[in-house]
Amino acid sequence: MRVLAFETSCDETAVALVQDGRWIESNLIASQVELHRPFGGIVPEAASRAHLTNMVPLLESTLEAVDRDGRPLDAVAVTYGPGLVGALLVGVNVAKAVAYARGLPLLGLNHLEGHVYANWLVPPGRDDQPEPRFPLVCLIVSGAHSDLVVMRDHGDYVRLGRTRDDAAGEAFDKVARMLGLGFPGGPAIQRVAEQGDPTRFHLPRAWLPGSYDFSFSGLKTAVGRLIEQLGPEPPVADVAASFQAAIVDVLAAKTAQAAREYGAAQVALAGGVAANVPLRRTVQDRVAGEVRLPPVALCTDNAAMIGAAAYYRLRAGAISDLTLDARPNLPIA
């Protein structure tokens, strides 16, 4: 089954072709990082306009490849939530138009579910990587989301916990701005923290006993106060390393606990923050079983992950819906 997929939930415009939910034929992405960098975060209206500009050349290039090789498309898939409503609407309406014009079924996908399915994707021609096994405990961490879910089968999720305030990626962006490291904050903090001492400053961990929820706003505030106390020239590398260690500690500990409690066959990471090297390493160290790590290039938003998720939904009998609309607050479960 060959799926044409779209992703425009935030600040990447993406179009992909995915075969049988696992093999990427094409995965085109137009990033908006440089557009939003001067503001230190995503400007929703600017993101929506950039999607309108970027979508046509990506779609034309992808459809030209489809028409050239002569192999048919079987379905169209698109992220319809969660995300920025204006950004989502661009992808949803383009996908509806393509599906209608070509007489193809249209499937709306949850953006967070798509991130999970990045763990199913492999390079073309690779048959030596088995699919993840259920029950699968997955930590989904990005700029807007910190969710811990147990996946019992395709499409069968239970959300164990979520962020109560700042998501992990959001905290990275805000602390990076405090330290003058620029946007996006996650890669900048990781890079600087490599030269720092993660034990120099003991920063708070919001463990929230009895819950798999996360909270990082207190940690962000503590970093701000620490910077004030340290004066005009704080040891940036040590502050960054200590902050990163605090976030990684909580994320990894709760993931490992959930894996034990729910008898996970495997654990997976997903989302932009899943590219963080200390997080990947720490989760692997603390989880007793196998940990699935998506390729770093597939941690950030892309359409291939949406095409992968769509395949398994369609195989389970999902119905086409040309009345699809954006749902910016769509939960994963």
Beta bridge partners of 150: 137, 158
Contact 14/31 with Cβ under 8 angstroms? no
Rounded to whole angstroms, how far apart are CA atoms 274 and 298?
Answer: 10
Strand 266-270 to strand 290-292: parallel, antiparallel, or no bridges (unpaired)?
Answer: parallel
Contact 78/47 with Cβ under 8 angstroms? no
Every domain of the chain and the residues it spans: 2-121+298-315, 136-293
Spell out the per-residue pLDDT of the chain, length 333, in tens.
Answer: 999 999 999 999 999 999 999 999 999 999 999 999 999 899 999 999 999 999 999 999 999 999 898 899 999 999 999 999 999 999 999 999 999 999 999 999 999 999 999 999 987 667 778 999 999 999 999 988 999 999 999 999 999 999 999 999 999 999 999 999 999 999 999 999 999 999 999 999 999 999 999 999 999 999 999 999 999 999 999 999 999 999 999 999 999 999 999 999 999 999 999 999 999 999 999 999 999 999 999 999 999 999 999 999 999 999 999 999 999 999 987
Rounded to whole angstroms, how far apart are CA atoms 128 and 117?
Answer: 17
Same fold, 2-121+298-315 and 136-293: yes
Q: Which residues contact 232 (CB under 8 A, 6 or more apart)?
A: none
User: For residue 179, which of 223, 137, 138, 136 has the smallest C-alpha distance?
Assistant: 223
CATH superfamily of 136-293: ATPase, nucleotide binding domain (3.30.420.40)
Determine the distance from the C-alpha atom of residue 201 to the mean position of all C-alpha atoms in its chain, rounded to a whole number: 29
Rounded to whole angstroms, how far apart are CA atoms 263 and 323?
Answer: 39
CATH of region 2-121+298-315, choose from 3.30.70.1230, 2.40.50.220, 3.60.70.12, 3.30.420.40: 3.30.420.40
